[in-house]
Amino acid sequence: MQLQASKARALSLSLSLSVLKITVLHAFPAPCGADLGHLISKKGKMIKICCIGAGYVGGPTMAVIALKCPLIEVAVVDISAARIAAWNSDQLPIYEPGLDEVVKQCRGKNLFFSTEIEKHVSEADIIFVSVNTPTKTRGLGAGKAADLTYWESAARMIADVSKSNKIVVEKSTVPVRTAEAIEKILTHNSKGIRYQILSNPEFLAEGTAIQDLFNPDRVLIGGRETPEGQKAIKTLRDVYAHWVPEDRIICSNLWSAELSKLAANAFLAQRISSVNAMSALCEATGADVSQVSHAIGKDTRIGPKFLNASVGFGGSCFQKDILNLVYICECNGLNEVANYWKQVIKVNDYQKNRFVNRVVASMFNTISGKKIAILGFAFKKDTGDTRETPGIDVCKGLLGDKAHLSIYDPQVTEDQIQQDLSINKFDWDHPIHLKPMSPTSVRHVNVVWDAYEAAKDAHGLCILTEWDEFRSLDFQRIFDNMQKPAFIFDGRNIVNGNKLRDIGFIVYSIGKPLDPWLKNMPAMA
């Protein structure tokens, strides 16, 4: 059945490729923008794209461009040799459903992963920059402002090695008006070369990245409102037009594009914090957050998506981008606006603390020396990404109360978990070889490769990621092998609390009416 489905997918992909080739040959528009008109005259010359940064964004986005535009040569470059080696192997550096298939179809044809950064940058017509933009940990704006070190070094390198006009595309999420700074770096070192800077923020969601890239809600391209700027916008627009319907490609000025990315993430995170705030009130009043979400989501002005209560949001972007937004507001003297967005993060932290407190309070106010099973460590299902995962804060909270943890996640390695639990806040967002080393493995943390093994002899079990496989576990078997009373704390509302109670568990599900046991053991956040 699965084989048939994948064959059907492969067939439809190869059909769409052959159609694309025809479209491309006849209708591929001339690149323009930073005066790339020379390409028109050289018939048959491939347009070259180079992407600096082979991460969660650079890798998948460029693979999809290569797949959809067979006449464009795409090189993805990175300073991390290990990452590039992984992109060139059978074990890609990131787990993303559908990614393997896409990469295998074009790698070595018109998609290349390389550490020869300068060569590919100098040959490219369009350069995407998709490098880390971490939160600053020191100096001015520490804890909030975006650290543009990697961006600036990429821009200086582009200026150093370029011998022809270029379109430089901001793919990383950057503070509003970053393009202006980049423009200054490039033009001050330009040697007569002309650059156009575009902002083309990425809206993909990890776990569904390939689906999102194939069928985006929108592609946003911001550029200068000059004839050259508009030409550059058109060049990039024409790349996306190979597969994205024209009406979904939105063009704007540079600052709107840059700010829209921060605004989109702030709105999405705000929705999660809103429903999570509601979940606390549900527990206090006997309401059921799933029923409340269902009822309010039916309002077409609100809509049903992003209304699942959980242990908190994670991922590399939400917190970082909101902090960045807060900093920009403060820099512009907009303190009330800054405080408004800060609250989204505060509620997220509150939700994680509340969960930990609930675990501790339920288990007689002490988890010292008790084994707690942790199911799921990635920040959401279908990704191995653990950046800012709520699992980090929850596990640190439980360890702070002296619990012994046994952690299982289907996609996250032991090394990754140990590193996440020992690294300082914000220190994760750097190229691999520049990350501070984690000292030793964290005490009282055991990482296992099986949910049943994790739960064996445990006093409590916490579900922190909504992996599908957790829904169909044999909970009777788990119960039989746990200490009694056996507790389940469902941080994602994916298991049926009533069925688990019938087995004998004491169950806590976020935002659901509380078991009598839990009511008598209130957890103050």
Window contacting ligand NAI (CB under 6 A); options: 22-30, 128-136, 405-413, 446-454:
128-136
Q: Please, what is the minimum distance in Å from the beta carbon of residue 126 to ligand NAI?
A: 16
Which residues within the stretch 153-172 sit at the binding site for ligand NAI (CB under 6 A)?
153-154, 172
Nearest to ligand NAI of 154, 507 (CB atom) = 154
Q: Please, what is the minimum distance in Å from the beta carbon of residue 380 to ligand NAI?
A: 11
Q: Please, what is the minimum distance in Å from the beta carbon of residue 467 to ligand NAI?
A: 18
Token code pair at residue 430? 């750097």
Window contacting ligand NAI (CB under 6 A); options: 1-9, 46-54, 243-251, 410-418:
46-54
Distance of CA 479 to the CA centre of its chain: 34
Check: CB of residue 146 under 8 Å from CB of residue 174. Answer: yes
| CA dihedral of residues 80, 467, 448, 85 (deg, nearest 10) | -20
Nearest to ligand NAI of 79, 356 (CB atom) = 79
Q: Does 78 bind ligand NAI (CB under 6 A)?
A: yes
Question: Tokens 């020191």 appear where?
Answer: 138
Q: Indicate which residue of 50, 69, 282, 317 is catalytic.
A: 317
Q: Please, what is the minimum distance in Å from the beta carbon of residue 440 to ligand NAI?
A: 24
Q: Which residue of 36, 49, 50, 58 would you call a contact of ligand NAI, by CB under 6 A?
A: 58
Q: Which residue of 32, 49, 50, 53 would you call a contact of ligand NAI, by CB under 6 A?
A: 53
Nearest to ligand NAI of 210, 458 (CB atom) = 210
Q: Does 54 bind ligand NAI (CB under 6 A)?
A: yes
Q: Spell out, one character per residue from 424 to 443, where the chain touches ligand NAI: x when CB under 6 A holds, - when not.
A: -------x------------
Q: Please, what is the minimum distance in Å from the beta carbon of residue 270 to ligand NAI?
A: 17
Helix residue spans in 462-520 (DSSP H): 468-471, 475-480, 497-503, 516-519
Q: Please, what is the minimum distance in Å from the beta carbon of residue 317 to ligand NAI?
A: 5
Of 254, 260, 267, 269, which is closest to residue 316 (Cα–Cα)?
269
Q: Does 206 bind ligand NAI (CB under 6 A)?
A: yes
Residue 116, CA distances (Å) to 51, 73, 160, 500 in order: 12, 15, 15, 55
Write the secondary structure of 165-177 as one string of H (helix), E (strand) and C (coil).
CEEEEECCCCCCC
Q: Please, what is the minimum distance in Å from the beta carbon of residue 295 to ligand NAI?
A: 31
Window contacting ligand NAI (CB under 6 A); options: 54-62, 97-105, 137-145, 419-427:
54-62
Q: Which residue of 64, 131, 361, 495 would you call a contact of ligand NAI, by CB under 6 A?
A: 131
Of 179, 180, 185, 150, which is closest to residue 55 (Cα–Cα)?
150
Q: Which residue of 110, 122, 165, 173 would you call a contact of ligand NAI, by CB under 6 A?
A: 173
Check: CB of residue 358 under 8 Å from CB of residue 352. Answer: no
Window contacting ligand NAI (CB under 6 A); options: 39-47, 55-63, 216-224, 478-486:
55-63
Number of chain residues interacting with ligand NAI (CB under 6 A): 27
Element spanning 273, H or E: helix 254-285
- Clarify whether 106 is annotated catalytic: no
Residue 155 and residue 160: Cα distance in Å, rounded?
A: 9
Q: Does 316 bind ligand NAI (CB under 6 A)?
A: yes
Nearest residue to the partner ligand NAI, using Cβ: 55
Check: CB of residue 196 under 8 Å from CB of residue 34. Answer: yes
Residue 35, CA distances (Å) to 40, 228, 234 in order: 11, 8, 12
| CA dihedral of residues 424, 147, 191, 54 (deg, nearest 10) | 50
Residue 499, CA distances (Å) to 169, 464, 475, 496 in order: 52, 19, 9, 6
| CB atoms inside a 10 Å sphere around CB 16 | 14
Q: Does 55 bind ligand NAI (CB under 6 A)?
A: yes
Beta strands in 78-165 (DSSP E): 111-114, 126-129
Q: Please, what is the minimum distance in Å from the beta carbon of residue 104 to ligand NAI?
A: 20
Token code pair at residue 339? 């405080």
Nearest to ligand NAI of 133, 293 (CB atom) = 133
Q: Which residues bind ligand NAI (CB under 6 A)?
A: 52-58, 78-80, 83, 117, 130-133, 150, 153-154, 172-173, 202, 204, 206, 316-317, 431
Residues recognised as catalytic: 317
